[in-house]
Amino acid sequence: MKPRFCPRCGATEKPFVKGFCQDCFIEIHKLVEAPKKLELVHCRSCGKILLNGKWLAFSLERVGDWAKEKIKIQELENARIAFSPFLEAELHILIQGKVLGDLADSFIEQPFQIQVFFKPSLCYDCSRLSANYYE
């Protein structure tokens, strides 16, 4: 049996995926596409956030779940996302995490980082209150 080697880097001892070593395969193929920056509308008066057309109370879990929907995973089996959102500044959240999954009998761990910026606005209730609108 001929020894296997990676045609890109020449490695022989690493696990192989579709003819390449695992590291080169990850560099060549985009397995995880996560946006670098996201923008989220928040009410500057009450602090609610606008998610999928609805004003909801702010929580890091909601923002994390919303950002998780924006991550695209390709070619990985049993893919799961582990992340930890944390408030870095008043109008900025940094989400760091990993996408874990299996690819051709190899375990793949791909890190990602997303910055969520808040765009200040007014929710419907606060907008009506500031305009003295009552029904």
> How many contiguous H segments (helices) and E segments (strands) does the chain have?
3, 10
109's tokens: 């761990």
Cα separation, 35 vs 42, in Å, equals 20
Helix (H, G, I), strand (E, B) or coil at 126: helix
- What is the pLDDT confidence band of residue 50, given thresholds at 50, 70 and 90? very high
Segment 81-114, tens digit of pLDDT? 888 777 767 778 888 888 888 877 778 888 889 9
The answer to whether the CB of 124 falls within 8 A of the CB of 117 is no
Q: ∠ CA(112), CA(80), CA(116), 5° rounding?
A: 35
| Whether the predicted pLDDT of 22 surpasses 80 | no
